[in-house]
Amino acid sequence: MQPETLTDLLMTLLQPLLGGILAPWPWAINLIAMFLAVVIILLFLIVTVMILTYYERKVVSRIADRIGPNRVGPLGILQPIADTIKLLIKEDTTPAPADRWVFLLAPAVIVSTAVMAYAVIPFGRGLFGADLNIAVLYVVAISSLTTIAILMAGWSGRNKYALLGGMRAVAQMFSFEIPLVLAIVSVVLLAGSMSLVKIAEAQRGLWFIFLQPIGFFIYFLCGVAEANRSPFDIPEAESELVAGYHIEYSGVKFAFFFLAEYINMFTVAAIAATLFLGGWRGPFVDQVPALGVFYFLAKVYVLIFVMVWFRGTFPRLRIDQLMGLAWKFMLPLALLNVMVTGLVDKLVDKNLNRALWGSALLGGNLVLAAVVIAVVYLVAKQRRARGRVPQYKVYLEG
């Protein structure tokens, strides 16, 4: 019988080794397996963050026609280790007027909330902490706690730039959380479940991105904004706020914020891969289950590449542009997408005619996309006619 969760898999491996020694305490093996599962997830995330820092710097350097890290180790692959050592030995300071306990708790809270989401994210068949029937709701609730940690960091340091960064983060996350949840609702309607494992299994043969391209677009864009990634890195705008909400942090406490940001980046991509790209599903995964982990990580890193590409391509938005994008564009589009998805799912029985059901969903999304493009074009044309869009001219010398 195949183990259902990561803890079950570890218990299966530990039983021959510790079964005789711990026979009087049968609960001890379960406890050890749970502890090892947590340690494995934490080590995986730490190594992943180190890989992502190197990966991002190399990709951005290529976009900017630079070399990137190339001094520490062959091809600079040991640069993340050097960065880790630097953060660990750097002086750890606390401002004298800071609210000490809140200041110290903020890094711990933000890392804890970032890690807790991985209790339900499936990396492969049987490679997940728990198969909750409300996993989607759990992830949304846990990720929302990041807002509290950022506000704690911005307020407790008694620094005006940090406070502005914290308030910006709250406004940004609350604004984009609503369309993000609505995009997830459209997937829940298709799968008929809020379990991430069941959502991945429901995409056997057809990924939901082909039925919900609008939903994927909304989720991914809102996810990038929730992770404070460029071009939505308003809370950390160096040109305006020096460093934003974590300006007063240094050493290990700053490393916690750094760690949480990259974990959240990986989380956004992992949830997107599970909801819209079939999770670990792929060719021959039923025959060779180990391929599921490879497929899952490949999809995640493709999405992370797109995030890095955003950083190297688009300029940072202004705060009014950011709020306008969330409330005037993403929210109405997400509501319309849920309405179209619910209408098609109600009118067409997928059990009777799955091809018609899929075609109707894709057609509805394409019509919705065409309407959105037309509206955006007409609004831009109207603004240009009123002279509200600046006209730039290029003057050549000589």
Of 167-181, 317-331, 383-397, give the lowest mean pLDDT range. 383-397
Q: How many percent of the chain have pLDDT more than 90?
A: 10
8-state DSSP, 124: B
pLDDT of 270 reads 93
Nearby residues of 286 by Cβ (< 8 Å), 6 or more positions away: none
CA distance 337 to 332: 9
Q: What is the pLDDT of residue 127?
A: 80
pLDDT digits (tens, 9 = 90+) for 83-105: 888 888 887 777 777 778 888 88
The stretch 14-40 carries a mean pLDDT of: 74
Mean pLDDT for the chain?
83
Q: What is the mean pLDDT of residues 131-143?
A: 88
271's enclosing H/E stretch is helix 251-276
Instruction: Tell me which amino acid residue 353 is.
Output: N
DSSP 311-363: HHHSPPPPHHHHHHIIIIIIHHHHHHHHHHHHHHHHHS-TTT-HHHHHHHHHH
220 in Cβ contact with 303 (< 8 Å): yes
> Distance between CA atoms of 397 and 221, rounded to whole angstroms?
40
Regarding predicted confidence, which is higher, 88 or 29? 88
The pLDDT-based confidence of 20 (bands split at 50, 70, 90) is low
Comparing 21-35, 130-144, 254-268, 308-322, which segment has the lowest mean pLDDT?
21-35
Does the pLDDT of residue 14 top 80, yes or no? no
Res 25: pLDDT: 67
Q: Has residue 36 got a pLDDT over 80?
A: yes
Structure confidence at residue 302 (pLDDT): 93
pLDDT of residue 92: 77
Name the residue among 51, 42, 49, 14 with its Cα closest to residue 29: 14
Name which residue leads in pLDDT, 19 or 262: 262
Contact call for residues 233 and 316 (beta carbons, < 8 A)? yes
Alpha-carbon Rg for the chain in angstroms: 23
Q: Which amino acid would we find at residue 284?
A: F
Torsion of CA 341, 345, 351, 354, to 10 degrees: -40
- Residue whose structure tokens are 């109600």: 346
In the prediction, which pLDDT does 301 show? 92
| 138-145 mean pLDDT | 87
Q: Is it the case that residue 1 has pLDDT exceeding 50?
A: no
Q: What's the pLDDT tens digit per position in 340-365?
A: 888 888 887 777 677 887 888 888 88
Residue at token pair 């660990």: 88
Least confident piece of the model among 22-36, 37-51, 68-82, 327-341: 22-36
Tens-digit pLDDT profile for residues 146-191: 888 888 888 887 888 888 888 888 888 888 888 999 999 999 988 8
Look at residue 182 in the predicted model and tell me its pLDDT: 92
Q: How far does Cα 128 stand from its chain's mean position? A: 17
Task: Of 141-145, 149-153, 202-206, 220-224, give the range with the top mean pLDDT.
Answer: 220-224
Percent of the chain residues past pLDDT 70, beyond the cut: 91
Per-residue pLDDT at 393: 56
Q: Output the CA torsion sign for 162, 167, 170, 176.
A: negative
Q: Which helix (H) or strand (E) holds 181?
A: helix 160-191
Per-residue burial over 93-121, b if 16 or more Cβ lie within 10 Å, else e, is eebeebeeeebebbbebbbbbbbbbbbbb
CB 119, CB 72: distance < 8 Å:
no
Residues 150, 173, 326: CA angle, nearest 5 degrees: 155
Is 198 within 8 Å of 125 (Cβ atoms)?
no
